[in-house]
Amino acid sequence: MQEALMEPIHYIKQLFPKLIALRRYLHQHPEIGFEEYNTNKFINKILSSLNEIEIIPQVANTGVIAKINVNKHYKTLAFRADIDALPIQDKKEVTYKSLYEGFSHSCGHDVHTTILLGTILTLIKYKNQLRCNLIFIFQPAEEGPGGAKPILEFIQPDQIDMILGLHVLPHLPTGYIAASEGLAMGASSKININLCGEARHIAESVHDENLIYLSSELLILLKNAEKTFKETHKDFLFSIGTINGGYYYNTTADEITMTGTIRSFSHQTNKSFFEYIKNNIANSHLKTLIPKINIDFENMYPPLYNDNEAIQLIKASASKVLGTKNIVPAWKVLGADDFSFYTEKIKGGYFWLGTHKYGEIAYDLHSPYFDVDENCIFYGTLVLSQIALDYF
């Protein structure tokens, strides 16, 4: 592998103010999955100003793919950045807070996008030092319903030798990365529960007919089922994320909907829990009190496995520019990412990028107060650029 090249490091330092501006624009203009139209235009505008790059401006509706073709006999390395935001209000008070009411980049995909753009800007300048072909995937809809699948339908996975991705991590210090071989992230499944009854004036109803009260009893049943299931399944979680229902303060609801997620390290375990709660509901007193209960299950993302060779490449390259002490093991988590669809077909590696500035509060991913130490953009761009320069 090449030693860390000082010229690219200096170039990224010069580029850094521009990258901050790019990130802040994206942060102010968050768009959710498959609706990233402005984000798509923004990425294309930057890429179209460059020479020696092939651009596919619209893939999977709002995605973008860029290529640096060096030599047809070289291996091909791909990088992926997700570009979508979340339907979460931005509550932090900064000059670059979201301009879109009810939407924010509270999972850091604006940072991922900026880092990938910074990597392209750097590697175009140092193309003569590359010993591989490069593909850059700006992917929509990671948060759902999943943009990796339609991207995979477009690209040719058998012509990509390795694919890499990163994600910001708010509790890891800036300047650090975390990476480990093997199982990295969990399998996610979605559950939908629909309760149906009859809307009545509150004066004409009784407690046992009120779906709001009955739904609260169902929540207790589900929580108890989760607790019992965990006794025999170590790495597992279940949570209800939304509850909706009712029309007016003095009228009982005729419908309640709930959505939630099941997480483990296999879809088989998720399916087993779904069947378990179905049986619990069927054998409970709620079955006789609620006129109609529908419960549906959908597998979302498979577990994510990191290839040994890919992780060794990440660690070796990152050590050159960050120092060995700043490379730490990653722990497997029950979060999920549709990057796992790529690693089912392509040798791949996924690592965490530290974003925490010492002395400041580290808000979790998906928090309405989430933000990053923007110096992480410099380090992320530096690591990806070094990986590309090392790969052959």
64 in a structural domain: yes
**Does 43 share its domain with 159?**
yes
Asked which of 238, 264, 299 is the last residue of a domain, the reply is 299
**Does 234 share its domain with 340?**
no
What CATH number is attached to the domain comprising 195? Answer: 3.30.70.360
User: Residue 306 above 80 pLDDT?
Assistant: yes
Residue 158 DSSP symbol: G
**Does 284 share its domain with 344?**
no
**Does 135 share its domain with 48?**
yes
**Cα–Cα distance measured from residue 51 to residue 9, given in angstroms and rounded to the nearest whole number:** 21
What is the residue-averaged pLDDT of the chain?
Answer: 97
- H/E stretch holding 26 reads helix 6-28
C-alpha dihedral, 234 to 169 to 368 to 376, nearest 10°: 180
Percent of the chain with pLDDT over 90: 95
58 neighbors 154 (Cβ within 8 angstroms): no
**Does 23 share its domain with 134?**
yes
Cβ-count burial of 100 within 10 angstroms (0-12 exposed, 13-18 middle, 19+ buried)?
middle
**Among 149-163, 206-220, 224-238, 262-276, the least confident range:** 206-220
62 in a structural domain: yes
**Does 77 share its domain with 158?**
yes
**Does 17 share its domain with 161?**
yes
115 in a structural domain: yes
Say whether 109 counts as a known binding-site residue. yes
**Does 326 share its domain with 295?**
no
The domain tally of the chain equals 2
Question: What pTM was computed for the model?
Answer: 0.95
Instruction: Determine the average pLDDT of the residues in 373-377.
Output: 99
pLDDT at 5: 58
pLDDT at 209: 79
Taking the alpha carbons of 217, 218, 222, 225 in that order, is the dihedral positive or negative?
A: positive
**Does 247 share its domain with 266?**
yes
81 in a structural domain: yes
Q: How confident is the model at residue 89 (pLDDT cuts 50, 70, 90)?
A: very high
- H/E stretch holding 37 reads helix 37-48
What CATH number is attached to the domain comprising 125? Answer: 3.40.630.10
Report residue 369 as tokens.
């107060």
Instruction: Determine the average pLDDT of the residues in 12-20.
Output: 98
Asked which of 253, 280, 299 is the last residue of a domain, the reply is 299
Q: How confident is the model at residue 7 (pLDDT cuts 50, 70, 90)?
A: confident
Full residue range of the structural domain in which residue 258 is found: 188-299
Asked which of 263, 280, 299 is the last residue of a domain, the reply is 299
**Does 124 share its domain with 230?**
no
Say whether 167 counts as a known binding-site residue. yes
User: Residue 257 above 80 pLDDT?
Assistant: yes
**Does 168 share its domain with 222?**
no
72 in a structural domain: yes
173 in a structural domain: yes
Instruction: Determine the average pLDDT of the residues in 131-158.
Output: 97
1 in a structural domain: no
- H/E stretch holding 288 reads helix 286-289
pLDDT at 1: 57
386 in a structural domain: yes
Q: At what angle do helices 211-230 and 267-282 cross, to 10 degrees?
A: 130
Say whether 107 counts as a known binding-site residue. yes
**Does 309 share its domain with 295?**
no
pLDDT digit string, tens, across residues 184-195: 999 999 999 999
Instruction: Determine the average pLDDT of the residues in 271-296.
Output: 97
Report residue 64 as tokens.
């973008």
